[in-house]
């Protein structure tokens, strides 16, 4: 049975996070708040759970799922190598609304879709999400909506679209940013913005010492 917890209430928040952690560790799906939009999440290392996440969204393997982490240090265990540009951007913008695409460590036993050896990583700026992530570890997370529909910025948006496909919904009120994160691809010869979002090209360019226009070419 689907459970809904209002994390603005301290008692419900504690019970809700415990229920979400239990669900994820059992291979089930949860919806949780982040600073950008609500996300539907699963254990990143549970292939069946990730497949269920993609199916719930009506999304194919050609659109692989990103991974949320609960600390800066986690990235070193997930990456083949961490580019200096990634470290600069992490120091400047994590936790926050910036996702980084890097080459993942080939030893990792996960299947996030057809990512061709890459992974999109982000540390969200939301206490509920961070608490869940620190209990569970890296989670495969995508926006909590049916593919092609607007992302959920309140939990009811997610519930209307995903319903009983999700075991636990964590409600923390409206998302702060109400738009998806900026994505920067660091797998090529130079950084490139794949999706514009709350972190601007100008801000990224200042950190990396690059012309913002070169990031969107």
Digit-coded pLDDT (tens) for 130-146:
999 999 999 999 999 99
Q: Using one digit for the tens of pLDDT, what is the confidence trace for 69-81?
A: 999 889 999 998 8
Are the beta carbons of 65 and 50 closer than 8 angstroms? Answer: yes
Contact call for residues 158 and 166 (beta carbons, < 8 A): yes
Please state whether 193 falls in left (phi above 0), alpha (psi between -120 and 50) or beta: beta
- Read off the pLDDT of residues 5-23 as tens digits, 9 standing for 90 and up: 999 999 999 999 999 999 9
Nearest to 150 by CA among 35, 37, 8: 37
The range of the structural domain enclosing residue 90 comes to 3-215
Place of tokens 């607007």: 150
Distance CA 118, CA 89 (A): 18
Whole-number percent of the chain with pLDDT over 90: 90
The sign of the dihedral angle between the CA atoms of 27, 29, 31, 36 is positive
pLDDT band at 3 (very low <50, low <70, confident <90, very high): very high
Q: Could you tell me if 132 and 59 are in contact, meaning their C-beta atoms sit under 8 angstroms apart?
A: no
Q: Which two tokens stand for residue 48?
A: 């069946």
pLDDT digits (tens, 9 = 90+) for 152-187: 999 999 999 999 999 999 999 999 999 999 999 999
Is pTM beyond 0.75? Reply is yes
Reported as type and span, the H/E element at residue 142 is strand 139-143
Q: Name the band, by pLDDT with cuts 50, 70 and 90, for residue 109.
A: confident
Give the three-state DSSP class for 215. helix
Looking up residue 196, the CATH number of its domain turns out to be 3.90.870.10
pLDDT-based confidence at residue 203 (cuts at 50, 70, 90): very high
37 pLDDT band, cuts 50/70/90, is: very high
Confidence of residue 116 (pLDDT cuts 50, 70, 90): confident
**Contact (CB, 8 A) for 184 and 98:** yes
- Domains held by the chain: number: 1
Residues 6+ apart with CB under 8 A from 196: 182, 216
Give the pLDDT score at 217. 77
């Amino acid at each position: 049975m689907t459970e809904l917890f209002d994390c603005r209430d301290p008692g419900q928040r504690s019970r809700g996070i415990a229920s979400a952690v239990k669900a994820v560790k059992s291979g089930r799906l949860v919806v949780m708040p982040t600073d950008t939009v609500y996300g539907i999440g699963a254990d990143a290392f549970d292939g069946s759970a990730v497949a269920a996440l993609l199916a719930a969204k009506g999304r194919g393997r050609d659109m692989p799922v990103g991974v949320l982490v609960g600390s800066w240090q986690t990235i070193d265990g997930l990456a083949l190598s961490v580019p200096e540009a990634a470290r600069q951007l992490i120091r400047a913008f994590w936790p926050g609304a910036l996702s980084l695409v890097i080459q993942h460590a080939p030893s990792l036993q996960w299947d996030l879709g057809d990512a061709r050896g890459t992974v999109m990583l982000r540390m969200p700026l939301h206490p509920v999400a961070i608490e869940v992530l620190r209990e569970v570890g890296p989670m495969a997370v995508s926006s909590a909506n049916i593919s092609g529909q607007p992302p959920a910025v309140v939990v009811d948006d997610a519930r209307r679209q995903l319903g009983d496909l999700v075991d636990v919904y964590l409600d923390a009120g409206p998302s702060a940013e109400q738009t998806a994160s900026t994505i920067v691809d660091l797998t090529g010869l130079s950084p490139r913005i794949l999706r514009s979002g709350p972190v601007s090209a100008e801000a990224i360019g200042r950190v990396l010492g690059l012309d913002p226009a070169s990031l969107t070419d």
